[in-house]
Structure 1
Amino acid sequence: MSKIVLSKQFIQNTVKLALNEDLFPDGDVTSDLLNNNKIINCNIIANENALIAGVSFAKETFNLIDNKIKFKILKNEGSLVKKGSKIANIKGNAKNILMGERVALNFLSHLSGIATKTDMLKKKIGKIKICCTRKTIPNMRVVQKYAVKVGGGTNHRFNLSDEYLVKDNHIASSNIYDVVSLAIKNKKRKKITVEVDNLSQLKKIIGLNFETVLLDNMSIDDIKKAIKIIKNKHEIEVSGNINQKNISKYKNIKIDRISIGSLTHSVKSIDYKLEI
């Protein structure tokens, strides 16, 4: 998988886009009404239990607006915090702090939501890997997949070039044996994953030389049957409507990973506030 590197330059560029969205074309017209010279001291506070992610994005938000603003991190990235915990202390020009408030909190809220959910699911499933997918917000994939890693999850392929993933519509457009065989022939050190949604499809590809079988939307009984057919020849991944309520059913099944699109496409953000 393409390596995700959150360099300072990447964080700056991402935050710049967010600030431009919030401030174009006339800036913060409401905060401009304040006394430019007033210095305030405030805290970012968690309004619920959370696993923190996105602190560096919040810090960079204020730094880009006014590098004289002092941003003191009180809880580090990846920390588990209780409701009411102070995450960071901010001191500086009132107008400039309020200008960056929502962008900073949005990064913290969204990334912490992903990290918190990943952590929660990981604890329910033990050693099985929890993976995100490509079901991400456009232009936010790197950031979202980073948050999954903060929460203890595993990144699936980053983009379409990373690996071969033969899915249902590829199979519907061709013959499963032929398309997998062609992927093997052309793999060039790329990983091959084959998605199947029934045992008949699985039996057609057993014996071919590829890495992972993705069992999609299969019942627990069929997953157990598939495991017997696979016989440790491939890594086993499962997916399809797996969530907090039903994930524990998979804990004692001999699978390697579970991929969950909702980690990124419909996650609940964590509620933070900036309090003066």
Structure 2
Amino acid sequence: MSKIKLSKDFIRNTVKRALNEDLYPSGDITSSLVKNNKIIKVKIISNENAIVGGLLFAKQAFNLVDNKIKFQIKKQDGSNVKKGSLIATIEGNARNILIAERIALNFLSHISGIATKTNKFVKLAGKKCKICCTRKTIPNTRVIQKYAVKLGGGTNHRFNLSDEFLIKDNHIASSNVKNLVLLAIKNKKGRKITVEVDNLKQLNEIMGLKFNTVLFDNMSVKNLKAGIKIVKKYYETEASGNINLKTVKRVAKTGVNRISIGSITHSAAAIDFKLEI
């Protein structure tokens, strides 16, 4: 799959767009009321237990507003932090710190939220089963969200539609599953092929064809176990469909190789951080 790259330029450009969104067209009209020569020291504190992530984005926010601001990282991305933990210290011009504050905290909160939720699934699934993200991401933030998944111990699924053949229910409804798989094999050019099934009858139609992964979608644990027993010697296995923190352990115990979960990116709650003066 495409590699997730968080280069300095990518981080800078991403944060720059966020600042432009926040400051157009007249800048921070409230912070401009603060004395321009006032120097302050502040702390970023976590208000809850979390896997922290996004510190370089936060640092870049302050740097872009004022490169004289000193931002000292106290916890590294991927660290498991407790409520009340000191995440970073900041020293510099008060007005400029206040301008960058919310953008910095937004990146921290969102990335840490995904990393934290992913980590909860990873712990419940155990070491033999991978937790994967999906393409259910906020448009234009996929790189950041998939980075956050990795911080939480998860595995990145395909990055985009060019990475892998993933023959899903609507493809099958629009054509014939066996023909689709054969065409994918013919055009694979080194890419993996995954075929989604939602019942054992569909599974029997594709058995023996040379592809990589069977994706069991929205199947009961009983049927999932039966399907894995049929295919485990021949294909990698994946489960998906409405799997949550209450059910993931049960699904993982079926012996499935990986579980893909959309909610770790599309609905992870933000982690609460505060900037304390």
- Shared fold per TM-score greater than 0.5: yes
Structure 1 position 118 matched with structure 2 position 128: no
For 2:78 and 2:226, the matched residues in 1 are separated by 38
- Rounded to whole Å, the distance in 2 between the matches of 1:56 and 1:224 is 43
Unpaired segments of 5 or more residues in structure 2?
Answer: none
Give 4+ residue runs of structure 1 displaced > 3 Å after superposition.
none
Partners of 1:76 and 1:2 lie apart in 2 by 25
> Are positions 1:51 and 2:51 aligned together?
yes
Is residue 38 from structure 1 mapped to residue 69 from structure 2 by the alignment? no
How far residue 252 of structure 1 moved from its aligned partner, in angstroms, is: 2.0
Contact 2:252 2:259 in 1 (8 A): no
In the TM superposition, what is the alpha-carbon distance from 1:232 to its structure 2 partner?
Answer: 1.8
**Letter matched to residue 227 of structure 2:** A
Flag structure 1 segments of 5+ consecutive residues without an equivalent: none
The secondary structure found in structure 2 opposite 1:102 is: helix
1:124 & 1:228 partners in 2: Cα distance?
Answer: 22
Task: Check whether the contact 1:237–1:256 (CA below 8 A) recurs between aligned residues.
Answer: yes
Counterpart for residue 217 of structure 2: 216
1:243 aligns with 2:244: yes
Deviations 1:213-233 (A, max 9, x none): 000000000001101221420
TM-score, reference length from structure 1: 0.99
Deviation per CA, 1:48-104: give whole Å up to 9, x if none: 000001001000100011000000001111111111111000000000000000000
Distance in structure 2 (CA, Å) of the matches to 1:111 and 1:259: 19
How many residues matched?
276
- Scaled by the length of structure 2, the TM-score of the pair is 0.99
Q: In structure 1, what is the equivalent of residue 102 of structure 2?
A: 102
The equivalent of 1:133 in structure 2 is 134
Is 1:9 the counterpart of 2:16? The answer is no
Aligned counterparts of 2:163 and 2:248: Cα–Cα separation in 1: 27
- The corresponding residue for 1:65 is 65
SS of aligned partner of 2:244:
coil
Query: C-alpha separation between the residues in 2 aligned to 1:12 and 1:246?
Result: 39
Q: Percent identity?
A: 67
Is the contact between residue 203 and residue 229 of structure 1 (CA under 8 Å) also seen in structure 2? no
